[in-house]
Structures are given as structure tokens and as C-alpha cells.
């Protein structure tokens, strides 16, 4: 669990890089960030391991920092070895480094490469940690009892489909499935008309645990490599018909989008804060609680949901922010609590497993992280600045997620792009 001692020279806001783009005030990838991902140079089929710095990608193998191209080996490093690798990358990229001449050959412009999934994803579990989202959605269907009795005690989750997790920039087709409206006697097979997006974070598992060995909460973050942006696309009309009694299935499994860069927990150390709950909320069970977790368990991350319609794109208009929130304020459960709960029954996590947090919505209506909330279940139009309206997503709509961490006395760091466009359903 990060503590004050985990803030070291790699977080010094005064440090500059010899990669000039990393020193810009609005740089997402300054030298204090150094997120990991995979990339392909033009004409290549194999994936290389890289670290983002400014507008460049540092090829770790060409820089002599690793001798392989297996991201799983990087993810599985013990905390000390992972931090040593971070320090070596930081020292080689800082202004005045003796590695500058040699490492120039290991830099590739980010705009010239293909960015893919940040790692090979094994299993995928989607959680439901956003209490304001859960409450808002619950009120649509159960006005008098929006949250189920177990919500405040159990980190709710379901097993998702890893094969349809797509890298940022990979568009997807509108799904079909069984849909039944209240007035119909029987369901029909049809294209989803209530296609939605979800503003989430992804949690990438680094070190595994042995089958039957739960991970104590005070050790949980030692098993997490980093965080990404994550959009779990949802067909609400398919979902509402199929989800009882076993939960999400085809309404979720057609596509999810993940950002290409994993921001490590080491980079996020300055942005941890105390884990707090509102007065009157129950204390977690002992296996989900701990002294260090209470003082450093939450992570401050600012999140944004943006929409660009096909008409906006044709007119040269940028994506428009339609929702925003903050991870620490939106999430009822922390990253460490998700890891500990997932393994308390003896479940074995593997290197490269992914957790989705579930939709992270703020308290206020304009802080929602899904169109289901913003349109109040499809009853209120979302009005865009160009005059268009949306209840749910149309073909040609592009959704992008953005995130950053800011704290006085430290450099702002970002997460990169998480974007995809809705394509028409296939015949």
C-alpha cells in the first residue's frame, strides 16, 4: 500500500526530460508518469514494450532496459524490481542524462506507431463500485429501494468476456440481441436501440496469487501493476431483458474499449488519499479494512466522458464533454478492496487479468458516467452544443474517455486516449 515513503525522486516536479515534449505544462506523459504499453512499428506484426514520454515511445528493449518482449514478465515484477526499472527509465530520460545519445535511437514518435492492448488480457471481471451510478440506475427501476441490501457490504462484480476487449481506436458494430418491450408478449431479435457507454477505470493485475491463498488488503496493491481507462459498452435494452437472474451477458460482451497505456501504481503514489465514507455508512468487514488502507487507500483521478457525433466530426467540431467525475469520490470500494475480495474465497488471479471498476459517476446529474443516467433512462434528451440531441448512441457517434491526476506540489499526469466509434450493425 503506497505511503509517504513511496514518493521519491521520480516524482520530483522540478525534473525535466531531454525529450522536450514531456516538459510542456499540458503534457500527459511527463517524466513523472512513464506509463507502460505495447506498440508496433509500421510493417511489423510483433508487439514491442514501450513507455510513453511526451509525444514519443521509448522502446525498452532497444534501450537495453529489458532483454525480451514479454509484457507479462514486466507485469509480474515484484515491487522492488518494478520500482528499480522505473528509476532506471527515469534516470535515462532526465535532462543531462548520459543515456541521451544512446537512447535517442530507441525513441519512436507516438504518431508513427500502432498502439494496441496494453497487455494480453486473461480473465476479466467487471465490478460495480460507483455508488452514485448504482443509486441513480437503481432509482430508475426501484424508486423506493435503489440499492440492493448487499451493496454496502460486498464489492459486486461479474465475470466478463476478455476476447472482446478492444484497444483504443478500434471501432465496433452495433450489437443485436433479444429485446422485449413491456407491451410485447414475446421478445424479438433486433439491433440495440439503447446503446450506451460507461466511464470506467481498468485495473491490471501484476503478480498472481496461489490458488486458495487470499491476498490480505495491506498487500493487495503489491499485486496491481497499474490503471487504465476503460469503456464497457452496454446495450441497455438487451441487458434489461436478459440480466435476471444471473446478470449481464450479451448486453455487455460485444465490446469494451481500453486505453493503450498502463499508469503504474508507482506513478500514482502522490495521488493516494485517505479512504473515507459518508457518515452513517457501515464500516467494511475486517478483511476489507486496514490501517494503511484507511490512510492511503483511495486514489484521486479526474475523469471525463466526451461525445462527438458524425455531424460534429464533419463540421470540424471537437468532442464535447457530457460527463465528469472523480474516482476517489465516485467509488464505494477501492482498488485494494477489489483485489482482496476477489481472492478471499481462494480465487487465483493471474498476471494480466483485468478488473473494470464499473461506471464512475459523481453525485450531481452532470457528473454522470453513462447516457442511461444523463437521459434519465431515455426520458430526457441530452442536448449538444450543435443542436443535436441524444438519448442513447447513434451510429457514427464516437465516445472518448479522458483522465488525469493533479495535486499541488506534483506534476499533472494523464492516461492517454480511450476512444471508439459506433458502426452500423452487420447484416
Q: Write out the catalytic residue numbers.
A: 133
Largest CA distance in the chain: 74
Per the rule left: phi > 0, alpha: psi between -120 and 50, beta: everything else, 60 is alpha
Q: Specify the DSSP element, H or E, that contains 237.
A: helix 236-242
Q: Identify which of 193, 210, 248, 224 has the alpha carbon closest to the alpha carbon of residue 339.
A: 224
- Asked if residues 259 and 418 have their Cβ atoms less than 8 Å apart, the reply is yes
Lookup: cell for 182: 413491456
Can you say whether the dihedral through the CA atoms of 281, 283, 289, 290 is positive or negative?
Answer: positive
Q: Which residues contact 335 (CB under 8 A, 6 or more apart)?
A: 203, 220, 221, 224, 227, 297, 299
DSSP assignment letter at 262: B
Q: Which residues contact 182 (CB under 8 A, 6 or more apart)?
A: none
Query: In 10 A of CB 346, how many CB atoms?
Result: 11
Q: Give Cα separations from 152 to 128, 243, 277, 282, 422 (angstroms).
A: 11, 21, 11, 7, 35
Amino acid at each position: 500500500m503506497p505511503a509517504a515513503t513511496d514518493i521519491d525522486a521520480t516524482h520530483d516536479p522540478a525534473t525535466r526530460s531531454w525529450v522536450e515534449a514531456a516538459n510542456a505544462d499540458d503534457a500527459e506523459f511527463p517524466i513523472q508518469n512513464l506509463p507502460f504499453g505495447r506498440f508496433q512499428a509500421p510493417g511489423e506484426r510483433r508487439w514491442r514494450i514501450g513507455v510513453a514520454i511526451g509525444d514519443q515511445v521509448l522502446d525498452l528493449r532497444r534501450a537495453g532496459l529489458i532483454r525480451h518482449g514479454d509484457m507479462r514478465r514486466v507485469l509480474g515484477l515484484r515491487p522492488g524490481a518494478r520500482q528499480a526499472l522505473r528509476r532506471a527509465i527515469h534516470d535515462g530520460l532526465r535532462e543531462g542524462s548520459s543515456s541521451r545519445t544512446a537512447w535517442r535511437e530507441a525513441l519512436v514518435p507516438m504518431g508513427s506507431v500502432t498502439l494496441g492492448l496494453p497487455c494480453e488480457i486473461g480473465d476479466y471481471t467487471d465490478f460495480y463500485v460507483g455508488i452514485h451510478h448504482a443509486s441513480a440506475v437503481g432509482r430508475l427501476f426501484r424508486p423506493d429501494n435503489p440499492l440492493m441490501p448487499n451493496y454496502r457490504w460486498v464489492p459486486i462484480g461479474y465475470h466478463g468476456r476478455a476476447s472482446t476487449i478492444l484497444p483504443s481506436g478500434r471501432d465496433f458494430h452495433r450489437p443485436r440481441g433479444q429485446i422485449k418491450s413491456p407491451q410485447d408478449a414475446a421478445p424479438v431479435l433486433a439491433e440495440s436501440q439503447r446503446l450506451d457507454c460507461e466511464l470506467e477505470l481498468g485495473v491490471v493485475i501484476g503478480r498472481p496469487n496461489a490458488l486458495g491463498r487470499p491476498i490480505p488488503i495491506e498487500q493487495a496493491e503489491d499485486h496491481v501493476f497499474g490503471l487504465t481507462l476503460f469503456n464497457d459498452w452496454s446495450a441497455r435494452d438487451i441487458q434489461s431483458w436478459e440480466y435476471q437472474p444471473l446478470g449481464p451477458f450479451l448486453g455487455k460482451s460485444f465490446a469494451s474499449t481500453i486505453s493503450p497505456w498502463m499508469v503504474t501504481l508507482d506513478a500514482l503514489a502522490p495521488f493516494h488519499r485517505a479512504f473515507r465514507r459518508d457518515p452513517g455508512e457501515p464500516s467494511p468487514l475486517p478483511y476489507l479494512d486496514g490501517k494503511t488502507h484507511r490512510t492511503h487507500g483511495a486514489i484521486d483521478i479526474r475523469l471525463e466522458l466526451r461525445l462527438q457525433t458524425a455531424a460534429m466530426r464533419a463540421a470540424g467540431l471537437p468532442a464535447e464533454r457530457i460527463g465528469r467525475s472523480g474516482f476517489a469520490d465516485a467509488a464505494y470500494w477501492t482498488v485494494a478492496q477489489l483485489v482482496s475480495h476477489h481472492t478471499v474465497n481462494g480465487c487465483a488471479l493471474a498476471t494480466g487479468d483485468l478488473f473494470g471498476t464499473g461506471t464512475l459517476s459523481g453525485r450531481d446529474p452532470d457528473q454522470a458516467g453513462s447516457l442511461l443516467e444523463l437521459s434519465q433512462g431515455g426520458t430526457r434528451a441530452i442536448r449538444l452544443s450543435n443542436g443535436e440531441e441524444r438519448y442513447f448512441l447513434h451510429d457514427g457517434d464516437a465516445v472518448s474517455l479522458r483522465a488525469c491526476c493533479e495535486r499541488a506540489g506534483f506534476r499533472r499526469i494523464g492516461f492517454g486516449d480511450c476512444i471508439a466509434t459506433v458502426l452500423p450493425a452487420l447484416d
